[in-house]
């Protein structure tokens, strides 16, 4: 209990004071000791936090475990989101007094409560959509279960919004089906006056590409959207030579493979952290110059505020990846008011 109180006090003196300095009012911090048994398969937090429902509560779940089993972690998230309680699980090994950890916890608290710490200064008046697929084997070992994650970023002069959408249609193999594309197009129709850029995590098959072109051309017109494939792994490396020393490239370095495809470095790497792994992007469809596509990917890495250390991935595919993983496990709040529960 004393350790819990000490860690809670550190969070109050670091994370919550920083959040308060940004104008988000914090009423109180109340440690609630909840013993989590290690010898049971099912566990619920609801008997301990049921009275917090609808109270605009953010729950830091402090555990003395170094890592929680996936199912236990998911049960905690599922229970709390059912009561509209945003949360952050903090493991025992996490040094909550470290300033970088404190900053990351602050970002999580802000994003999960719909208070974005910052937005892009210069807007593009575009709508960016991140799409990713997640999959796992069925518990019966017969077949694969798929889920699609959809993140939507509206970039406007008044700051814009970031949200997620649940589109409950099946995904076949590594391609989304036409039913998903139709649902997405209907969902985006209110943005018909903006240019829509779809970032697809991974390669896009011919059938999927044709589905987007057919449906979106009919809904928005052929000139009002673009499809971009973003490949995270298996990409060629980028290196630079400085005074006969081979090293990692700076952020923003790009090698053009064609008029529609490039390999780009999206983050800085300290030499002690190994070799930079770039992204490979390809404009698959649309009147969307490659240099503009590169600039947009780099800009969107700034909105991936899951960490104060600038991330490799643009927020579109990074957020879609997390959303797909949660959807795969049956967690996807219906309320899409901008609370980024997946951070």
At 181-199, the pLDDT tens digits run: 998 999 899 999 899 999 9
How far is Cα 52 from Cα 56, in angstroms, rounded to an integer? 8
Same domain, 136 and 282: yes
Is the four-CA dihedral 15, 17, 22, 25 of positive or negative sign? Answer: positive
According to DSSP, the residues that pair with 36 across neighbouring strands are none
Helix, strand, coil share of the chain (percent; to 5): 30, 20, 45
Are the beta carbons of 269 and 248 closer than 8 angstroms? yes
| Single pTM value for the model | 0.87
Mean pLDDT over each residue of the chain, to the nearest integer: 81
The verdict on 212 and 292 lying in the same domain is yes
Instruction: Mark residue 315 as left, alpha or beta (left: phi above 0; alpha: psi -120 to 50; beta: remaining).
Output: alpha
- Whether residue 269 is contained in a domain is answered as yes
Q: What is the CATH number of the domain that holds 213?
A: 3.30.420.10
Query: How many Cβ atoms from other residues are within 10 Å of residue 286's Cβ?
Result: 22
Q: Is 162 inside any structural domain?
A: yes
Same domain, yes or no, for 179 and 92? no
**Residue 285 β-bridge partners:** 227
Domain residue limits at 65: 2-112
> Are 98 and 152 in a shared domain?
no
Q: What is the mean pLDDT of residues 283-298?
A: 95
Domain boundary among 89, 112, 135: 112
- Which residues are catalytic, by number? 132, 174, 201, 321
Q: Domain count of the chain? A: 2
74 plus 198 within the same structural domain: no
Exposed/middle/buried for residue 38 (C-beta within 10 Å: 0-12, 13-18, 19+): exposed
Write the pLDDT tens digit of every residue in 251-266: 888 999 999 999 999 8
How far is the C-alpha of 167 from the C-alpha of 204, rounded, in Å?
Answer: 19
Answer yes or no: do 134 and 272 share one domain: yes
Q: Which of helix, strand or coil describes residue 200?
A: strand
- Whether residue 120 is predicted with pLDDT greater than 60 in this model: the reply is yes
Same domain, 135 and 108: no
Per DSSP, the three-state class of 212 is helix
- Per-residue pLDDT for 213 more than 60? yes
- The first and second tokens of residue 65, run together, are 């475990």
What per-residue confidence (pLDDT) applies to 212? 93
Identify the DSSP state of 342.
T
Residue owning tokens 């697929």? 133
Say if residue 142 is in the same domain as residue 197: yes
Q: Same domain for 107 and 130?
A: no
């Amino acid at each position: 209990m004393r350790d819990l109180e000490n860690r809670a006090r550190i969070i109050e003196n670091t994370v919550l004071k920083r959040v308060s300095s940004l104008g988000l009012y914090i009423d109180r911090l109340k440690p609630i000791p909840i013993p989590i048994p290690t010898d049971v398969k099912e566990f619920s937090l609801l008997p301990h936090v049921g009275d917090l429902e609808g109270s605009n509560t953010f729950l830091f779940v402090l555990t003395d475990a170094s890592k929680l089993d996936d199912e236990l972690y998911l049960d905690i998230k599922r229970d709390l989101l059912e009561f509209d309680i945003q949360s952050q699980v903090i493991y025992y090994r996490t040094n909550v007094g470290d300033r970088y950890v404190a900053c990351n916890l602050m970002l999580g608290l802000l994003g999960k409560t719909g208070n974005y710490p910052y937005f892009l200064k210069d807007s593009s008046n575009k709508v960016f959509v991140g799409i990713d697929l997640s999959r796992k084997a069925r518990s019966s070992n017969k077949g694969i279960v798929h889920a699609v994650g959809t993140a939507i970023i509206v970039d406007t002069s008044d700051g814009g919004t970031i949200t997620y959408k649940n589109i409950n249609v099946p995904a076949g193999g590594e391609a989304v089906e036409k039913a998903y594309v139709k649902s997405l197009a209907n969902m985006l129709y209110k943005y018909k006056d903006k240019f829509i850029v779809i970032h697809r995590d991974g390669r896009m098959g011919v059938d999927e590409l044709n589905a987007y072109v057919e449906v979106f051309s009919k809904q928005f017109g052929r000139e009002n959207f673009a499809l971009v494939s973003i490949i995270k792994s298996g990409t060629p490396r980028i290196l630079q030579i400085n005074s006969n020393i081979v090293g990692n490239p700076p952020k923003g370095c790009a090698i053009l493979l064609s008029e529609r495809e490039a390999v780009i470095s999206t983050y800085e790497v300290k030499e002690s952290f190994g070799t930079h792994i770039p992204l490979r992007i390809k404009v698959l469809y649309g009147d969307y110059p490659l240099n503009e596509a590169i600039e947009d990917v780099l800009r969107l890495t700034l909105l991936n505020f899951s960490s104060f250390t600038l991330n490799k991935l643009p927020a579109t595919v990074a957020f879609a990846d997390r959303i797909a993983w949660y959807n795969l496990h049956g967690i996807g709040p219906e309320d899409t008011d901008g609370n980024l529960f997946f951070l």
